[in-house]
Copies of this chain bind each other. A is one copy, B any other.
Amino acid sequence: MAQKDKKDRLKARKPRGLVDRTADDIASVGQMLDAIRRVYELYGFDAVETPLIEYTDCLGKFLPDQDRPNAGVFSFQDDDEQWLSLRYDLTAPLARYVAEHFDQSPKPYRSYRVGYVFRNEKPGPGRYRQFMQFDADSVGAPSVSADAEMCMMAADCLEALGVKRGDYLVRVNNRKVLDGIMDRIGLGDASAADTRLTVLRAIDKLDRLGTTGVEALLGTGRMDESGDYTKGAGLDPQAIDIVLGFVTAGGKNAAETTANLERLVGSSETGLAGVSELAAMATLFDAAGYDATRILIDPSIVRGLEYYTGPVYEAELTFQVNNEDGEPVRFGSVGGGGRYDGLVGRFRAEDVPATGFSIGVSRLASALEALGRLASEPVAGPVVVLVMDRDEIGSYQKMVTDLRQAGIRAELYHGGSGMKAQMKYADRRHAPCVVIQGSNEREEGVVQIKDLNEGKRLASEIDDNAAWREARPAQVTVAEADLVSTVTEILARQDDAPIRNAG
């Protein structure tokens, strides 16, 4: 093909908020997923997987970001004009799945799922439009023992991933308590649903905006640094005080916190039910030996999703790391969940009690990397057989095949360049050694094998070029028949050497 005109050329580019992943990232996140899977399975959950595309109406619209036209979801129409969407979480598709297979499933139905979800949102640092979640859910489980278990499992997962006790905290609250507060400030009716949601999302921003920010959002509204104005819930000062009292009701132990909450909800039945659920969960944490340094009843946690109906929980990393500007930051939430008794019920005559926990895999991976806890043993490079003479490519191919049949990662050089470029290629691939056979070697029935790692080490010791050529270190010439055994020896020697063939 002729040289192309630059203006006809397509620009290779990726849409915003999407990432390409490298071999090291894939390997280390893979090990992380295996560790989470082992904990979820230990807890009795079984794997299930749903497709990435669902009917839009089956997913429902429960995302916090409602300011944008399609409410944070990627949607498109099918041939029969029905709307389809990419799943935005792993809970809504599970609700569809369980409702569809309800009669054949054991109840409770306990499953875990891992996979990508999509948000059609404005991307930002650490905020992607495609990211991975790892969820576990108990559907048909009315007892808060199912919720308590999720919190313990969150703690166990983080410890299995190498996060030390004291470096994480699982915070627990209950939406029914919040509903009790809403009752008290006159927002209990169906007609106040929108205002309730605004209050919920205001509280959910406590971590980011602090009490003053939340106070503004509960009142008339708030202008952020960029000048964007968010309309507030319009509560009167007394109601704001009650809500802020709820948010800051955490005491020094579960008994004190639940006592505070009991006072705040007054006579609201829903509120009192929520308080008693929190107390029941505290008993279970206590019985299983998860103290308040690991799982804490904390009224400031509400979660942004609309569909929660009871206990909500959030797993947070509490240690500090320095960001790119050298400022200390906390990682914050790496997972969370809660009870969603109405979500499966949308499809059925009866409500179906359910609770679930979700780990934000990509976010947690970044955190573990900062902790130095993300396994990152690089995949060892392949042995490269150089192509010195194109007419003899069959014999080079045979060497590669012999190495592979002995279980040795190996490849033929498939490029079109000469010896120097081939050596450079082997180096970039982190090849442990290269195999060379020129015409002289072929006549003698031998091959040269260069140990690239040993070569690098010696190169740092010998600085006289003449001496180097004389010694020809890290290079052996062996009979063709001894190729596999010699390479095997070199690889074994490198495995024992202190300097690894790092990627």
Contacts and interface: CB of A to CB of B under 8 A. Distances in A.
Nearest to A8: B346
Contacts of A82: 15
Interface in A91-123: 95-97, 99-101, 106-108, 110, 116, 118, 120
A283 interface: yes
Given A106-B428, A145-B412, A412-B149, A12 B100 contact: yes
Nearest to A348: B9
Nearest to A60: B10
B84 A43 contact: no
B76 A42 contact: no
A149 B414 contact: yes
A366 interface: no
Contact of A347 (B12, B21, B27): B12
A410 B44 contact: yes
11 contacts: A10-B58, A10-B346, A14-B54, A14-B100, A15-B51, A20-B51, A21-B50, A106-B428, A106-B429, A143-B390, A156-B404
Contact of A414 (B52, B57, B145): B145
A26 B111 CA distance: 12
A289 interface: yes
Given A145-B393, A342-B1, A52 B116 contact: yes
Nearest to A55: B15
B287 A394 contact: yes
Contacts of A377: none
A351 to B, nearest CB: 5
A107 to B, nearest CB: 6
Of A18, A76, A145, A384, most buried by chain B (CB within 10 Å of CB) is A145
A501 B48 CA distance: 20
A23 to B, nearest CB: 4
A284 B18 contact: no
A402 B46 CA distance: 21
Copies held by the complex = 2
Nearest to A5: B349
Given A106-B425, A342-B1, A50 B20 contact: yes
Contacts of A410: 42-44
Interface string A392-413: 0111011011001001111111
Interface stretch (A134-142, A310-318, A327-335): A134-142
A47 B379 CA distance: 10
Of A95, A143, A414, most buried by chain B (CB within 10 Å of CB) is A414
Interface in A128-169: 129-130, 138, 140-143, 145-146, 148-149, 152, 156
A349 B4 contact: yes
A100 B54 CA distance: 32
A55 B13 contact: yes
Nearest first, the 10 A-B pairs at minimum CB distance are: A44-B411, A287-B394, A44-B382, A12-B99, A141-B414, A18-B51, A146-B414, A106-B428, A21-B49, A12-B347
A3 interface: yes
A74 interface: yes
A78 interface: yes
A129 B425 contact: no
A208 interface: no
